[in-house]
């Protein structure tokens, strides 16, 4: 039996309102967010609360100023969002870290405006490897925590509710993506044919996340590093190597 409206938490009511505003069914919202319809049902009944990462995605779906509520529920401080400098075009894939520095003390609503033309992207405490040998570690994205929130122009994000950012360690993608960069991943793009010759992230239960150029060659799927000292990695076994998403752009961390 559904909870009575007066006992339903505010966040549940906000999600119900978002469904109405977007004219989405529970199943439709579930598909957009990559969760089950039963999970959405529990949200709107107030039985379970969304995770911080899900709140970020809900904020990306909502229009201003409603998006601020969801981002604040994720633990974001709207008065101190790191915000992208919008003076670069979407075709500029190599950006410097200073382009995503804090704009303070501007309120996020002042920076983003009322058009909803920006996307909040969670930077997770997850590191993709670019080393010669994969790390032996168990990686669970469900246990990842949000380090901070980065904001980018909406036109850079084909699927804004499914964008995440992660760190890159190692030099396998150098000089294309230098070590220590932050890569931005569209996790909605997982079709192997569509990713042919694209920069992608794959995930392995024990070896974590790997960044390289995805190539399909005569029934074999390879991750090809930019650094020619690294041999291609065979990721044909889809039960072991899952496509995590397409790398859309990255931030080059400056040194010196």
The reported pLDDT for the residue numbered 134 is 65
Average pLDDT (175-179) is: 88
Q: What is the dihedral of CA 189, 148, 150, 180, to 10 degrees?
A: -70
Pairing of strands 233-234, 208-217: unpaired
Report residue 98: phi and psi, to 5°: -65, -20
DSSP state of 75: T
Report residue 106: phi and psi, to 5°: -60, 140
Least confident range from 83-87, 190-194, 216-220, 240-244: namely 83-87
Residue that has been written with the tokens 């609360």 in this structure: 49
Q: Which residue did the predictor score with more confidence, 106 or 140?
A: 140
Average pLDDT (196-206) is: 89
Q: Which of 91-100, 134-143, 208-217 has the highest mean pLDDT?
A: 208-217
The DSSP line for 105-146 is: S--HHHHHTTTT-EEEEEEEEEEEE-SSS-------GGG--E
Could you give the domains of the chain? Answer: 77-252 (2.10.109.10)
The reported pLDDT for the residue numbered 96 is 34
- pLDDT > 90: percent of the chain: 28
CA distance 15 to 19: 6
The reported pLDDT for the residue numbered 202 is 93
- pLDDT > 70: percent of the chain: 74
Q: What is the dihedral of CA 209, 212, 213, 217, to 10 degrees?
A: -70
Say if pTM beats, i.e. exceeds, 0.95. no
- Mean pLDDT in the chain? 76
The reported pLDDT for the residue numbered 206 is 77
> N- to C-terminal Cα distance for the chain?
61
Q: Is the pLDDT of residue 217 over 50?
A: yes
């Amino acid at each position: 039996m559904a909870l009575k409206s007066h006992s339903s938490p505010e966040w549940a009511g906000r999600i119900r309102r978002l469904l109405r505003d977007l004219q989405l069914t529970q199943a439709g919202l579930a598909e957009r967010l990559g969760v089950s319809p039963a999970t959405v049902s529990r949200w709107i009944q107030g039985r379970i609360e969304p995770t911080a990462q899900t709140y970020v995605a809900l904020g990306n779906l909502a229009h201003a100023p409603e998006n601020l509520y969801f981002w604040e529920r994720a633990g974001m401080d709207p008065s101190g969002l790191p915000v992208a400098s919008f003076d670069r075009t979407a075709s500029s894939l190599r950006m410097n870290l200073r382009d995503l520095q804090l704009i303070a003390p501007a309120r996020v609503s002042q920076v983003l405006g009322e058009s909803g033309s920006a996307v909040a992207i969670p930077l997770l405490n997850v590191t993709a490897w670019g080393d010669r040998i994969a790390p032996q570690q168990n990686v669970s994205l469900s246990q990842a925590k949000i380090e901070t929130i980065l904001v980018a122009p909406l036109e850079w994000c084909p699927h804004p509710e499914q964008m995440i950012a992660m760190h890159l360690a190692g030099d396998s993608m150098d000089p294309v993506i230098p070590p220590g960069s932050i890569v931005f991943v569209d996790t909605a793009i997982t079709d192997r044919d569509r990713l042919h010759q694209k920069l992608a992230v794959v995930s392995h239960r024990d070896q974590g996340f790997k960044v390289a150029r995805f190539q399909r060659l005569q029934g074999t799927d390879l991750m090809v590093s930019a650094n020619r000292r690294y041999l291609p990695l065979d990721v044909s076994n889809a039960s072991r190597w899952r496509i995590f998403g397409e790398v859309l752009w990255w931030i080059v961390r400056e040194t010196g």
